[in-house]
Structure 1
Amino acid sequence: MNMLIFIVVGLLVHCVFLASIFDIYFTSPLVHGMTPQRTPLPPPAKRLVLFVADGLRADTLYELDDNGTAQAPYLRNIIEYKGSWGVSHTHVPTESRPGHVALIAGFYEDVSAVAKGWKENPVEFDSVFNESKYTWSWGSPDILPMFAKGASGDHVYTYCYTAEKEDFGAQDATKLDTWVFDHVKNFFQAARSNQTLFSKVNEEKVVLFLHLLGIDTNGHAHRPNSREYKDNIRKVDEGINDIVSMLEDFYGNDGKTAFILTSDHGMTDWGSHGAGHPSETLTPLIAWGAGVNYPQKVTSQFFEDDFLKEWKLEKWKRLDVNQADIAPLMASLIGVSFPLNSVGILPLDYLNNSAHFKAESIFTNAVQILEQFKIKMTQKKETTLSFLFTPFHSQMLRRTDVTTLHCHHNLSGVCIPRLRLLSDTEQINILRKARSYIHQEKYHEAVSLCKTLISLALEGLSYYHTYDRLFLGISVVMGFVGWISYVILLIVKTHTGLSRSTHDKASTVLLLYGFAAIGILIAFFLLIQTCPWTYYIYCLLPVPVWYAVVKEFRVIQDLASVVLVFPLGQSIGFLVAGALGIEILVFSFFYRSTLTFGLIAFAGWPLITRLWTQAKVTTLNWTLLCLLLAMFPLMPVVGREPNISLVTVAGLVILLISSFSLACLCKSKNKYVPKKDLTILLFQMLSIALSTYVVNSTHSSLHHKQGLPVINQIISWTTLASSLFVPLLSPTFFFQRLLSILLSLMSPYLLLSTGYEALFPLVLSGLMFSWIYMEKEVLQHYGDSLKPKLAVLNFSYTTDITQFRQLHLDDIRRSFFFVFFIVTAFFGTGNIASVNSFDPASIYCFLTVFNPFVMGSLLVWKIVIPFVLVSCAFEAVQVTTQLSSKSLFLIVLVISDIMALHFFFLVKDYGSWLDIGTSISHYVLVMVFTIFIMLLSGLAQLLTTKRIELWGRTKRHSM
């Protein structure tokens, strides 16, 4: 197959594999067409005030300071004398958008929606704001518009400050919150003299939403344990006190206002969020006012986190909820319909109302969730053949009262240990029984039955949501295994010389017709079930892939004959070594320390192969650098305080290396070194020095709250822009070009560093240089005639080596080394959690104003830089070993696809939300890895072989 066609087909196949998990595991859970459900009894509150203190941790709010004083005295007083409190447990990703959607809409946003941005609604969803008569909201332009845009009609009003105010380098981020408080006060002051507005704010079913971003901004800039963060909490506490007093005065103390304070997510000690650390997932919830329970004193209570004693709140009953439960709570308090897509369960303990009201409210909650179940079941019935449709059954324990916990009960209370089928008839029976209990004033029984129905409906929703998972999973696995098999056969056929078999045309035609018939049958089966078009791709993809495999049956025969004559012990040893190597790579995604053991094993590689007898100095360098690099995976990736001194050390070390290199060039025995080459090197050294200075200057300026100096920002962006251009000006000789690439990429890396990670590219690059020299020594096993002299190696002269020689076992080892070093380049100083909750301090040299897309792009470039260094080194390995770049890519493809198949089986959508996010991240990372390798290979070839002549063409010289 032509290489270009193969690459295009490979890209398409891997895009299908990558997209498959979003159809199998992460499709949107939302359904439409439900009937709105509202509690029929009069609500306790006419209006609701929702305070969301962005980035507020539960422990920081509830704990006492060293003097025994509360961080928020007014809210502490609410907990002890006026309202109910607890912890709201968030899901990951712990970011602002999904947190607010859970709070206000009552569901946990699917992955695809989170990925589509902050500014718009990727999916249509209902919310408490949409169900209200009027909603007024004040705060961030990143949050408020999404709920206004998704609302029907013109009844959700937003008042936002400009995005420029969200500046991590600002002198006083509390201004974001005082802006909100001041504008709310001005709004109600204006309402006194505006009759139309006065009339609106006095309506029922009104929501006031105050989004307070200052705490989050100060947490990012100064850390949650800082004085600024805690001072901001006191400011918010005072502001809430003022707003409550102002509203009570405005409404004449009518007792019809309910208040809720919570947070969308917490924050780690190092000022980040996005992953699943308890400091990010445990947020405060305090409710008081109309319809909310007063404090309940208890003698003892137990929670796994054991915070109560530390907070000195063990006497007051703690009522924990899931974040989505707050939406039905708000809807119940003001009497609006529960959000249509909400999966939250009304926390009855927060309500201060009659048992009748609580029973009616939970009944409404059950019907609202059951509506979603019915729509989901109907949709699945309509798209499945009747004889293949399997309705939902549950093995969940049911109960009609609190004393019967260990058996199933029918509606008459008779114990029957059987599967529960939530059919239309049983739904009606349960609802009738619950309604009958309410009429009989058996409210406790009604509540228990409704909670059972809610649990069954949620379980059923999950069942129908994952109905096609096994079928699609088998299809994708068949495609995966077929693709890996085909690539292995392609390697054997074209790059090993083990097989020279040709196709039998008659057999090929017969196979073609056979597989075409199978494809038609699969397509017909999908058509009569009216399956989505993506199902056709997943189910039909294995057909051509396996056709391509079976077509090479003669190659399979030749390969089998070779394997059978190979010594059994060596075959087993080779397979065990390969499996162990891939398992090390897989385990490194979960445990970074696995890379340490791998690097230690690499350090001993020359001893095992006796290479140390050939080149002792090179071997010593390799061993020391492997052991030094092995230290990085043992260091923390998140949770560290910035240490700019280490960044400075890295800058000084690279300057020392470049100075030594400059001295060597000047003392070279060659005829001459062009001045322009020396000028480029001096320019890069100046760039390193400037970057080191800018990092120190920027962090010092921000520490003194003087903001980001404009000149520093200009230098940073200029350095970043030139980092890929300047190496193309340097000579294409091996050492000079690789040194130039290192110096150019180190400058932006220093600007993006805050600690020890600044040293990582230096050690990694040193190991890459040693690897190149080690591979040169390995060639002695195949004769000195193949061993080039690195001193005279010129990348631009040796680009066409694709057909130079066939593969041998050492090439598999080289490919594994490459994959291992690429994985090390990512996990050496980071992991999935560090990407999800990166430290914003790392981008302060470029910008301090909140911009998630620019920040994300800078983070990605920081991650990519070590990859580029490894890829450029491997480009040199290809040149020195005359290794076919096509065969290399195929071997790397097989290794990465085996890893991807491994992670496909590990993807999950259950358990902790951190596990879910991690599993999908791992699969996506490995799948993108293959595509990424192709792009990296092209970039590395560009950086190593191309040269731009700005001063005209010069006479070539040898080194």
Structure 2
Amino acid sequence: MNMITFFLVGLLVHVVFFISIFDIYFTSPLVHGMTPQHVSLPPPAKRLVLFVADGLRADSLFKPDINGTTRAPYIRNIIQNRGTWGVSHTRVPTESRPGHVALIAGFYEDVSAVAKGWKENPVEFDSVFNESRHTWCWGSPDILPMFAKGATGDHVHTYTYPATMEDFASTDASKLDTWVFDEVKVFLNSAKQNETLLSKLHEEQNVFFLHLLGIDTNGHAHRPMSTEYLDNIGLVDAGVAEMVSVFEEFFGNDGKTAYVFTADHGMTNWGSHGASHPSETLTPLVAWGAGVQTAQKATSTSQNYDDDFLKEWGLETYRRVDVNQADIAALMSSLIGVPVPLNSVGVLPLQYLNNSQHFKAENMYANAIQILEQFKVKMEQKKETTLSFLFTPYQILTDSKQMDFMRHARELIQKGQFKDAINLCDLLISQAMEGLSYYHTYDRFFLGSSVVLGFVGWTSYVVLVILKTHASLRKPPISRDKMPGRSVGKVFLCIGLLVTLFLLLQASPFTYYIYCLLPVPVWYSVIKEFGTFVDLIRSIPSLPLSKCCGYFVLVTFGIELLVVSFFYRAMLTLGLITLTLWPFVSGLHRRAKSRSVSWVLSCLCLAAFPLLPVVGREPNTNYVLCAGALTLFNSFSYLWSSHGHVGLHKRDRRLFIGQMIQVALCAYVLASTHSSLQLKQGLPLFNQLISWSTLVSSFFVPLLTSTRLFHRLLSILLSLICVYLLLSTGYEALFPPALSWLMFVWINMEQDAMDTQGASSTTELHRIDFAETIDLTKIRQLKLDDIRRSYFFVFFIIIAFFGTGNIASINSFDPASVYCFLTVFNPFIMGGLLMWKVLIPFIIVMCTFETVQVSTRLSSRSLFLIVLVISDLMALHFFFLVKDHGSWLDIGTSISHYVIVMSMTIFLMLLSVMTHILTSKRILIGRRLKMHFK
């Protein structure tokens, strides 16, 4: 198998392993075909007004100021006199789309929607808006359309402002909320002149949705403790008071309007959200109006909460009723008398209702049947796709037990034993939810076993390829064909046919065939190389066993250290401190004293970064200016050194000087942009043009320079650091210069580590040209020391990834890092810039690894195969650590770790191609400006 074929096969296999986690753990929980459950009793409200203050924290609303005054006097008055209040507990990820889906549709976001962004539904789902007679919505163009798209008919009407209004650099983002309030008033006034619209507005089961984004935008731009954020809460409070007055006047104070005020998620002190910090997951819920229980005095049982918020908020005398965010959809449905959304997993919070016990029991019964309907559909789907003798039903809720539950609950309601009926329905809901989870994860063990079998087979095959091709084990085979190839092929062909037949009989999805059949050719390839195992066993007496065992122990310990570093970043500091011992353990310090000192100092310098905070830090452009100055100093030092003059033409010198000027300009642009935004003067157009032109030029400017080793590396580094400076807000700007220092030292140390026979001198190292054709006769075989080189590379890749942050935590992203490029909210462009910022340290390490391979005369495939084995062992480790129980944070973190490692492996394979182009290709511009690759 040639290198290109092996690369493509390896890429395909890893893509399959990567996608498998989505089929095993990220499958859609939604089912279709259920019947809506109507309640025959008349609802208390004819209409519902829903206010969602995007990004509003519970403590920011409820907690009084230092002087004891409240920021939201109207909402406070509702809590104390007219309504019921509590905390709505959200789930991870605490983002706008999943929060609104939980509020309005009653289920926690289908994770396949991650790839679809904010505007498109990967699957259609039911919602309170869809079940309503009419719904009118005002607010953000990122939220409202997804509920209109999934609605049947044409009864969900949306009014959105232009996306350009969502500007983080805006002098006053509260205008987003003012726009909503003004538009509602204009709409109701115009309805008075429109008989058709007026008639629709006075119908029953109507919903009015006011999405208020100003608080979230001000929180991102100025932080939740800022005056802008807190003042915006006061503006929203006054706007809610005005809207209530407007609605009551419009409908003639008929007392048939119910109001719900809540938030989709909160926000951290550093202005982000997405993870599980209490400031993100605790949101306010206040309900009042028709059908809602009025304020109740607290009792010892009603205030049994483990937090100290009540005293801090000054609300300890008022009954607090907490809910899960999905419960709000059931509450809204019961208030206006529409069926609970078909996919809802929320439970009706009865304490919010001010109605008869009969009404509560009937609604709980409908809620229970609605969830039971999902369970039954899920069970039937699984039964249809499983052979009858293999199907194991959920024993707690068999068909007979379902009928008993429903019949008994109905009898209790008919007898007037409403409390017992409610308790029975509550029990039925909990058991149906457990059953839903049981059938949702029914195939998980089967699929997981298939993926692990394929994983182990692939890793074994790569090890065999290393041994056979690169480790001098290609001896004349004596017993290589003890296992006849044709016989083995027939056996595996039969296995493949049996697996296919089994999947066909079960009507399994297409992806199941991939996961279950992939191990067949992989293990066939492994068994075919049985002779390589024989050669290895025969060569054991000639191997340095003590050195082999030492490397095995060190690599095993090293892999475990990397795995633990995903949970505790400080472990990377321990690893870097351990790496400082390498020159002394290997004896290199005797041959290269100055470089050994540089190695120790650069390791210790980089070791400080994993100890620094990932989130919660204030922007500080002084660090960025310092990083720019440091980069310029190092560049000047290299250019004017003797090594810098080797092979450096005037044209290249001009390019380097131009790149250094660009570094200084980018540092200035970053400082200028943040200064302008602090003064609320917006993003200067000149700064924006410089930023985008720098980003675009960074892809091809290095290709204009010399392909001499250090010349090309310096050009790549300058281009990448320019972009990194523009995307930095604080100390992380110092990370690429520190990492680059260690990488340059590593290149030189590896040259010193080579055996003196045939090794290049230091001078020759500086004369290496990436573009030169490699003499295949000088390519050496792998040695045990190459295992260390490969591990160093994987370790440095993890350092590049976790050195200044943790992408596994969504809330580590600071929107301020993209303000040099844009300030108007655009999740895809912002996400793309964030990903490029994450990849820049990757590319620095990848280019260094490419250099190490060239300078140590090793084929690009050889070391990478060892890297592949190490990263696959890490991925397999994380596959076994994936959880489907515990807190939502634990589950999400365990899955994200596997996804990160698999993504990293796939990225490394793709980046290896990119870095080869970056280092070895050159664009030549001739006299006639004709460009071609050299």
Pick the TM interval, shorter chain: over 0.9
**Alpha-carbon distance in structure 2 between the residues aligned to 1:114 and 1:450:** 34
Aligned to 2:77: 77
Letter of the 2:791 counterpart: F
The residue aligned with 2:177 is 177
Q: How far is the alpha carbon of 1:303 from its aligned partner?
A: 2.1
Residue in structure 2 matched with residue 101 of structure 1 by the alignment: 101
Residues 1:522 and 2:499 are matched in the alignment: yes
Q: 1:674 to 1:131 in 2, by over 3 A?
A: same
- 2:110 maps to which residue? 110
Kindly report which structure 2 residues correspond to 1:296-311, keeping only aligned pairs within 5 A, or say none: 296-300=296-300, 301-311=303-313
Q: 1:597, 1:523 → 2: CA distance?
A: 49
- Check if 1:589 corresponds to 2:566: yes
Residue aligned with 1:797, SS: coil
* Cα pair distance change 1:836/1:479, threshold 3 Å: farther
Give 1:765's aligned residue: 740
Task: Report the alpha carbon displacement of residue 440 of structure 1 after superposing the two structures with TM.
Answer: 1.4
Gaps of 5+ in 2: 930-934
Give the distance between the partners of 1:359 and 1:561, measured in 2 at CA: 77
3-state secondary structure, aligned to 2:49? strand
State the one-letter code of the partner of 2:384: E
Q: Tell me: CA distance 1:334–1:523, structure 2 relative to 1, closer, same or farther (3 Å).
A: same
Aligned position for 1:349? 351
1:378: which partner in 2? 380
SS of aligned partner of 2:330: helix
> Which residue of structure 2 aligns with residue 127 of structure 1?
127
Instruction: Please give the secondary structure, in 2, of the residue aligned with 1:949.
Output: strand
Note if contact 2:299-2:319 (Cα within 8 Å) is conserved in structure 1.
no
Q: Distance in 1 between matches of 2:577 and 2:290?
A: 65
Question: Structure 1: 5+ residue runs without aligned partners?
Answer: 394-420, 955-959
The aligned counterpart of 2:2 is: 2
Alpha carbons of 1:779 and 1:288: their partners in 2 closer, same or farther (altered >3 Å)? same
Deviation at 1:157, TM superposition (A): 0.1
- Relative to structure 1, is the Cα distance of residues 785 and 147 closer, same or farther in structure 2, using a 3 angstrom cutoff? closer
Measured at CA, do residues 842 and 36 of structure 1 come closer, stay the same or move farther in structure 2, by a change above 3 Å?
same
Question: What is the aligned partner in structure 1 of residue 676 from structure 2?
Answer: 701
Q: How many angstroms apart in 2 are the aligned matches of 1:214 and 1:901?
A: 44
Give the equivalent residue in structure 2 for 1:387.
389
Pair 1:601 & 2:578 matched: yes
Distance, in Å, in 2 between the alignment partners of 1:761 and 1:605 is 23
Of 675-684 and 232-241, the range deviating more from structure 2: 675-684
Given that 1:787 and 1:880 are in contact with CA atoms closer than 8 Å, whether structure 2 keeps it comes out as no
Work out the CA distance in 1 between the residues paired with 2:286 and 2:733: 43
What does the per-residue CA deviation read over 1:178-228, in whole Å, with 9 as the maximum and x for residues that have no partner? 000000011111111211111111110000000000000000000000000
Q: What's 1:867 paired with? A: 842
SS of corresponding position for 1:274: coil
1:435 to 386, 395, 410: 410
Residues 618 and 770 of structure 1 are in contact (CA less than 8 Å); yes or no, is this contact kept in structure 2? yes
Q: Deviations over 1:710-766 (max 9, x none)?
A: 111001001111112111111122222111111111111000000000000000000
Distance 1:144 1:668 in 2: 58
Check the 8 A contact 2:138/2:158 in 1, yes or no.
yes
1: CA distance, partners of 2:608 / 2:644: 36
Equivalent-residue separation in structure 1 for 2:884 and 2:667 (angstroms):
44
2: distance between equivalents of 1:802 and 1:56?
67
Equivalence for 2:67 = 67
Q: Does the CA contact (< 8 Å) of 1:801 and 1:883 recur in 2?
A: no
In structure 2, the CA distance between the partners of 1:540 and 1:669, relative to structure 1 (3 Å rule), is: closer
Q: Aligned partner of 2:27: which letter?
A: T
1:406 aligned residue: none
Provide the residue aligned with 1:16 in structure 2: 16
Given that 1:106 and 1:343 are in contact with CA atoms closer than 8 Å, whether structure 2 keeps it comes out as yes
Asked if structure 1 preserves the Cα contact closer than 8 Å seen for 2:778 and 2:857, the reply is no
Matching of residues 231-270 of structure 1 within 5 Å: 231-270=231-270
What is the number of equivalent residue pairs in this alignment?
Answer: 925
TM-score by length of 2: 0.97
Question: What is the Cα deviation at residue 295 of structure 1?
Answer: 1.5
Distance (Å, rounded) in 2 between the aligned partners of 1:890 and 1:848 = 43
In 2: Cα distance, 1:834 partner to 1:26 partner: 18
Q: 1:802–1:885: 8 Å Cα contact kept in structure 2?
A: no
- The structure 1 residue matched to 2:317, chosen from 282, 291, 315, is 315
RMSD of aligned Cα (Å): 1.8
- Spell out, residue by residue over 1:105-147, the C-alpha distance to the aligned partner (whole angstroms, 9 max, x if none): 0111122122222111111100000000000000000100100
Relative to structure 1, the CA distance from residue 131 to residue 801 in structure 2 (aligned partners, 3 Å threshold; closer, same or farther) is: farther
Q: What does residue 831 of structure 1 align with?
A: 806
Against the structure 1 CA distance between its residues 764 and 567, is the aligned structure 2 distance closer, same or farther, given a 3 Å change threshold? closer
CA distance in 1 between counterparts of 2:538 and 2:77 reads 82
Q: Is the 8 A contact 1:799 1:945 kept in 2?
A: no
- Contact 1:434/1:449 (<8 A) preserved: yes
Confirm whether residue 472 of structure 1 aligns to residue 474 of structure 2.
no
Q: 1:659 to 1:254 in 2, by over 3 A?
A: same
Answer yes or no: is the 8 Å Cα contact 1:125–1:150 preserved in 2: yes
Distance 1:594 1:313 in 2: 43
Query: What CA distance in whole angstroms lies between the structure 1 residues aligned with 2:795 and 2:686?
Result: 40
Residue identity opposite 2:319 in structure 1 = K
User: What CA distance in whole angstroms lies between the structure 2 residues aligned with 1:742 and 1:639?
Assistant: 29
Which secondary structure state, in structure 2, belongs to the residue aligned with residue 655 of structure 1? helix
**How far off its partner does 1:669 sit?**
6.9
Native 8 Å contact 1:37 1:337 kept in 2: yes
Residue from 627, 634, 638 that aligns with 1:661? 638
Aligned to 1:638: 615
After superposing the two structures, state which structure 1 stretch, 590-599 or 8-17, moved more.
8-17
1:796: Cα distance to partner? 1.7
SS in structure 2 opposite 1:276?
coil
CA contact (8 A) 1:479 1:541 kept: yes
Contact 1:801 1:882 in 2 (8 A): no
Query: Deviation at 1:659?
Result: 2.6
Where does residue 156 of structure 1 map in the other structure?
156
| CA shift for structure 1 position 833 | 4.4
How do 1:153-552 and structure 2 match up within 5 A? 153-300=153-300, 301-393=303-395, 421-500=396-475, 502=477, 504=481, 507-552=484-529
Residue 897 of structure 1 pairs with residue 872 of structure 2:
yes
Residues 807, 788 of structure 1: alpha-carbon distance in 2 compared, 3 angstrom cutoff: farther
The one-letter amino acid paired with 1:369 is I
Q: For the Cα contact (< 8 Å) 1:54–1:214, is it kept in 2?
A: yes
Q: Deviations over 1:55-75 (max 9, x none)?
A: 111111111111101111111
Cα 1:18–1:673, aligned 2, differ >3 Å: closer, same or farther?
Answer: closer
Secondary structure at 1:795 match in 2: coil
Aligned to 1:780, the other structure's residue is in SS state: coil
Cα distance per residue 1:578-603 (max 9 Å; x no partner): 21111111111111111111100101
Q: Give the AA of the match of 2:264.
A: D
Give, in whole Å, the separation in 1 of the partners of 2:60 and 2:392.
Answer: 49
> 1:568, CA displacement in angstroms?
6.2
Match of 2:593 in 1: 616
- Distance in 1 (alpha carbons) for counterparts of 2:774 and 2:699: 20
Q: Do the aligned residues in 2 keep the contact of 1:266 with 1:279 (CA within 8 Å)? A: yes
1:661 Cα deviation after fit: 2.9
- The alpha carbon displacement at 1:789 in A equals 2.2
Which residue does 2:915 correspond to in 1? 940
Q: Is the 8 A contact 1:53 1:262 kept in 2?
A: yes
Matched-pair contact (CA < 8 Å) for 1:802–1:884? no
Asked whether the equivalents of residues 802 and 886 of structure 1 are also in contact (C-alpha less than 8 Å), the reply is no
**1:512 CA displacement:** 0.2
Instruction: State the identity as a percent.
Output: 65
